[in-house]
Structure 1
Amino acid sequence: MRAHDTYDYAVIRVVPRVEREEFVNVGIILSCERTAFLEARIELDETRLRALDPALDIELLRRHLDTIPAICRGGEAAAPIGLLPQRARFHWLTAKRSSIIQTSPVHMGKCGDLPATLERLMDRMVRVKPAAPAP
């Protein structure tokens, strides 16, 4: 049986109107320093975002959000940030900001399967399950 790895994660939030402080969770950044794992998964719920700001430019938002997984992958394609060490990229991505794209505080956990944990966190923190039909 594989040993459990300690990981850090943060929830990616979109705050369409920063002054109102309303947000929609749109993704997860998960990092495990020991295994050199750094990935982000993003899924937009346009209906929920438009409920907070009908004028939100979804395509521009997508372009900005697409930089997060690119920074996780690293390399020259992710501009100067992509050249930083992996842990520094995680800390840069999760630094406190007052912009339309923010992250939650960083949380810790332990698991034996990092990709499965990323999916579980997406299910729990980002994806909205349909409501059960009324009786």
Structure 2
Amino acid sequence: MQEKHLYEYSVIRVLPAVEREEFVNVGIILFSKKAKFIKVYFALNEKRLACFSGDLDFEQLKSNLQSFEKIADGEKSGGKIAEMDLPSRFRWLTAVRSSVIQTSRPHPGMSVDLEKTAKRLFEDLVL
């Protein structure tokens, strides 16, 4: 029997006009401390985001979201935060912000296949 892993996930959101508090889900972060697993998936639907605001810099948004991936993956190009341990990286990525890119509060779950669960959550909540 496969072991079930406790995980937490958070939805990555873009708020084109922060003051209006309207958002579009663009990604997920899934983390499991025991399994030493963290994964970020994102996709920018420029057409959908443009409906909220025509002033978005999509190249900057993409660059910032790629930074989330680098930090999660512990890449050197992710800076000092990417050098932190896995739980600290997840907590930093999911910290409350008042910027164009924000995350939901973390939600718990159990999974025998964390990669598959991350992909399913991404498809269900973002795509």
TM-score by length of 1: 0.92
Q: Which runs of 4+ in 1 moved over 6 A?
A: none
Give the corresponding residue for 2:20. 20
Ranges in structure 2 where 5+ consecutive residues have no aligned partner: none
Alignment of 1:1-135 (within 5 A): 1-127=1-127
Q: CA deviation at 1:94?
A: 0.2
Give the corresponding residue for 1:132. none
Q: Matches of 1:91 and 1:10 in 2, distance apart? A: 10
Give the corresponding residue for 1:131. none
Q: Which has the larger radius of gyration?
A: 1
Q: Matches of 2:93 and 2:119 in 1, distance apart? A: 19
For the aligned residues, what is the CA RMSD? 0.7
Superimposed CA distance per residue, residues 45-92 of structure 1 (whole angstroms, 9 cap, x where no aligned partner): 111100001121111111111100100011422101011111000000
Q: Matches of 1:86 and 1:66 in 2, distance apart? A: 17
Amino acid aligned to 2:38: L
Identity of aligned residues (%): 43
Q: Matches of 1:100 and 1:27 in 2, distance apart? A: 14
Ranges in structure 1 where 5+ consecutive residues have no aligned partner: 128-135
Superimposed CA distance per residue, residues 4-57 of structure 1 (whole angstroms, 9 cap, x where no aligned partner): 100000000000110010100000000000111011000111111000011211
TM-score by length of 2: 0.97
Find the residue that maps to 1:66 and give its secondary structure.
helix
